[in-house]
A and B are shown apart, each in its own frame.
Chain A
């Protein structure tokens, strides 16, 4: 009898302690929204009150209207789809080439001496500078666009993989040697897991560049794609359409980045680094 209130009070104490923590977990990310949301509301009010006509900087309501109209007519998904396809193709090619070359040059020091200086020199060229050459070589259609994106994705992936493989701890490699792993087994059981965290970082920065370069690629002439929406909005004086396309880029970029993060997470649970648990 006398035990009962005690247990209850302990339970409620625990619950009381937990509740604010759960609140904090929800409230802290929400903190990030305070600034953009209040700015948006402020702008909306200023336009409503006639302080600004909102012609060059459309208020949120106009942008949302434009977005829903684009979505309703199927335009949004057509343009977004075209862009996503280009990024996917370019990212795939860039990642494949970057991983292969990065792994080979990371593993074989001789090959690194042979190939890396040339690649580093190529990397120093701003990739946009390739556009005219790519158009001459590959035409103005999809191929040159995908090639440009692939070039953008290639370098961070190549650098990340090469650096990671070359700097795998010799002590860990020796563990593999003591257990007499063959070359492929060494790669699969020691090198790959060891470089995975760095690889994921390289993929994510490669993807970021991929999204950047798709815009450049679509600027150079496209009849569809989010980049086309940007150019079209500029030429026809539709700032709401430009902002809508920018928002679509932001959402797609964030989504794909999160996708890589989520796909990699189960393989990186072992990580013991500052920040790994945040």
Chain B
């Protein structure tokens, strides 16, 4: 067992209120905590179980090819497992995300949609197909 207890992804965003309404309200993540520093603000959202997926360049290119058809992602991409990736992608588009591609079904049988969040983060929504 490792000593690491939690993987927390920290996004520094230009438009804090916009990001809050996107991740909290549109994506529907629950608030766990909120706090402030001198003039600054933080909201911690719970997003299910966190994992760290390491991929090499070739696999990243393969995922991009499957989901989008061309190489688009930077070194970090945020993936959320959700009950219905297609429906949620529509909601998020309505909330300001840009759809890059999808939904597509991957060879490992997930339904994936690639989006770019308003803060510029690249998102994959995926739903395991039963």
- A and B: partners? no
**A residues at B contact (CB < 8 Å):** none
